[in-house]
A = this chain, B = another copy of it.
Amino acid sequence: MLDKIDMKKEVRKQDYDDRMAHLEIRMGELQRQCKEKKIPIMIVFEGFEASGKGTLINKMIQPLDPRGFKVYTMEKETEADTMHPYFWRYFTKTPAKGRIHIFDRSWYQGIEKGIITAEEVRQFERQFTDDGMVVIKFFLAITQKEQKKRMDNLKKNASTKWRVNEEDYRKNKDYDKYLKKYDDMLIQTDTSNAPWTVVEAIEKKYAICKILTTVVNRLEAAVSAQKKVSGNAGSVTEEDSEDLQNGVLQGIDLSLTLEPEEYKKKRKDLQKRMEILHNKMYLQRVPVILAFEGWDAGGKGGAIKRITQCIDPRGYEVVPIASPNDIEKAHHYLWRFWEKFPKDGHMAIFDRTWYGRVLVERVEGFATEEEWKRAYSEINNMEAHLVKSGAVVLKFWMHIDKEEQEKRFKQRQETPEKQWKITDEDWRNREKWEEYEKAIDEMVVRTSTGDAPWHIIEANSKLYARIKVLEIVVEALEKVLK
């Protein structure tokens, strides 16, 4: 994409003034329309060193209402960034519906550094465009000679010389090599849902016109597309539409129990090991994610407590997941979980998880069929990324049968200090037992990956369940930590 272009393209002064006046007004209008229609917009700037990203971004934002956009400079990683999975610093900064987020440098740095693959980037962008986001990507191109000239100019000036270093000059010498490398990267990530626009950036006026024109065209398309259809069916693959046979939960032996004495002994031993592991986790900087799902009153809370009782509160956080708040609702459904993923050496214990998308949101109709079907692979990709980045991910389904649930609900109602735990909603959910069963079965089949398999916990016996969870956690960590 880079080898055939003329980087010296220019625009005539008179044309420029007319076009800019028109484009700036149009940008303002489209920003307001996108806000109204709740379309999130992400604009990415990549390009050669000294190609003028800063100046051009500043030109681009002048016509925008500052209440609706934000510029992120992503060059240098913060300490928190380095202690999280690679995509974390980007995912947590994606725009809410109706907002424009502009990235000066982006996840493409990860391809350059060999941390992520083009395929992972395509998946990353795809989850947002599938969700209705407009992703606009610019690559600013200048010639080797122009780059050298600009770097020399920056160096000459006392107030800007810090912007250029030896590395930049070395890269300038190897210009052809980098051109080839960038070209490969662009070709591999130029998708129909998130295409690249190469901007010839020697002449600033030409460049800004092309940038604004591209943004205006993409936003116009997005605004009018939303007028025509809402709820595009999308492509459902064959695998997706195949009807699953109930099964996973059928084979579970809920009669398993544990004697109190045996329980006490095992718990003591496992908690002792857990305490040691928690210290090692911290020292060896391994992040741990425990994901708890299960039937209402399945014993999630009790199992979590047996893990946290013995460890230092400075190294773990229990993250209870309820229905999303307004800000969370305005983002991609995975955003609020990314916000909570632990940094290296820490543990996050999720009491309910991102699987709500394919459980309660599916059953209650909060997500469309297209949305929850898409979620399986989105979740698998996310978990693969977490594991690849060094995290231990363990997922538990706390399984009880319908009779046991009724017993526990009634117990809660009869115990004064537990009454707050049981609501009408719990009884209503119970009426949809069979629908949930189907959703759980499909979830376990589709998202039990090698990276992050599901552990079904036979939980009719609380004592048995707690020990089994502790055992799985302790053994998994002992395998990883020296």
A interface residue numbers (CB < 8 A to B): 25, 28-29, 32, 54-55, 57-58, 61-62, 65-67, 70-71, 73, 78-80, 104, 159-160, 162, 276, 279-280, 283, 304-305, 308-309, 311-314, 317-320, 322, 325-327, 351, 417, 420
Contacts and interface: CB of A to CB of B under 8 A. Distances in A.
Contacts of A65: 320
Interface secondary structure of A, over-half rule? helix
Contact of A57 (B78, B313, B417): B313
Contact of A313 (B29, B54, B67, B351): B54
A280 B159 contact: yes
B29 A317 contact: no
A438 to B, nearest CB: 29
B61 A313 contact: yes
14 contacts: A25-B417, A54-B312, A54-B314, A58-B312, A66-B304, A67-B322, A71-B313, A71-B314, A71-B317, A78-B80, A104-B313, A159-B276, A159-B280, A162-B279
Given A58-B312, A283-B162, A311-B58, A318 B66 contact: yes
Given A159-B279, A276-B159, A417-B28, A62 B314 contact: no
Given A160-B279, A283-B162, A313-B61, A29 B417 contact: yes
Contacts of A325: 326-327
A119 B311 CA distance: 37
A216 B57 CA distance: 54
Contacts of A319: 66
Given A79-B79, A104-B314, 17 more contacts: A29-B417, A54-B312, A54-B314, A55-B312, A58-B308, A62-B305, A62-B308, A66-B318, A67-B322, A71-B314, A78-B80, A80-B80, A104-B313, A159-B276, A159-B283, A162-B283, A326-B326
